[in-house]
Amino acid sequence: MGQLTKAHLVEGAAWSLIVVVFFGYSFEFNQSIEIYKFGATGWPRVILLLLLVVTAGNFYYQFRHGSAIQKGRVGIAETDESETDYSDPATLLKVAGVLLTPFIFAYLLKPVGMYSGAPVFIALVIYLFGERRWKWILGITLLIYAILLGLFVVVLNAPLPQGNVSPFYDFSGFILKMNTNLQNLW
């Protein structure tokens, strides 16, 4: 197995899967274009072929040298090199929480909207980042929310998602009505 680890095998398999899935799906749009000899699939298939070759090269390198950094590489941030210990399930839960919370927020943007969802999201992220003083969580949440409303709603009139479920939609309407009243004062 040389210097290969389980992670390298998973990595190689993931890249190979990408190549296989994208190559397989390319038959869905395998149409000729009258004015272009290589058609719609020519360019992506060349990329996939190159990706397959390079994935094999990467696998060979990992077989020989493991995860070692190649000599002479530039522009590698030190964060890229860190090895994290996930033996403690609490650590895994914390990181998973941070990774998933924005996704849930994004998913709920359509029904809940930005105006109702943002304060909860802000407070949750602050909590997940380790802050436990509730006064600070509340204060910073209000401050960020005020910045959001001040800059994007009052100054720039940016169209933000309003939600489509009551009472969130009504709350967005209330904020926008307040903004209109404020703009009329000027």
Partner 1 sequence: MVEKFLAGSAALFGDPITIAIFVFGVIGGMLFGAIPGVSMLTLAAILLPFTADLDPAQGVMLFAVIYCTGTYGGAITAILFNIPGAPENAPTAFDGYPMTRQGKSGKAVGAAVLCSAIGGVASALVMMAATEPLANWAIRNIGPPEIFALVFFGLAVASSVGGRTIWKGWMSVLLGLLIATIGQDPVGGINRYNFGFTDLAAGIAFVPAILGFFAVSEIFVQAEKKATGQYDAPKVGMSFPSVLELWAHKFAVVRSILVGFFCGILPGIGATLAAFMGYGEAVRWSKNKEEFGKGKLEGVISSETANNAATGAAMIPLLALGLPGGALTAMMVAVFQMHDLEPGPLVFYNSPELIWIVFAAMFYANLSILFIGLIETKTILYLLKIPFQFLAPLILLLATIGAYISRGLVLDVMVMFGAGIIGFLLRRTGYSIPGIVLGLILGKIGEQNFAQGMQMVHYDMITYFSRPICTILIIAGTLTLAAGVYRAFSSPKEAG
Site for partner 1 in 65-124 (CB under 8 A): 65-82, 84-85, 91, 94-95, 98-99, 102-103, 105-107, 109-110, 114, 118, 121-122
* Dist CA 14 CA 9 (whole Å): 9
Binding to partner 1 in span 121-140, by CB under 8 A: 121-122, 125-126, 128-131, 136, 140
Contacts (Cβ under 8 Å, ≥6 apart) of 69: 76, 81
Q: Which of 151, 153, 152 is nearest to 175 (CA)?
A: 153
Q: In angstroms, give the least distance from the CB of 185 to partner 1.
A: 20
Kindly state the number of chain residues that form the binding site for partner 1, as judged by CB under 8 A.
81
Q: Does the footprint of partner 1 cover residue 182 (CB under 8 A)? A: no
Q: Which of 106, 126, 116, 107 is nearest to 174 (CA)?
A: 116
From 13, 20, 33, 178, residue interacting with partner 1 (rule: CB under 8 A): 33
Nearer to partner 1, 55 or 172 (CB): 55
Q: Could you give the C-alpha distances from 97 to 89, 148, 169, in angstroms and in order? A: 12, 24, 27
Q: In angstroms, give the least distance from the CB of 184 to partner 1.
A: 18
Q: Which of 103, 117, 177, 112 is nearest to 145 (CA)?
A: 117
Binding to partner 1 in span 2-31, by CB under 8 A: 7, 11, 15, 18, 22, 25-26, 29, 31
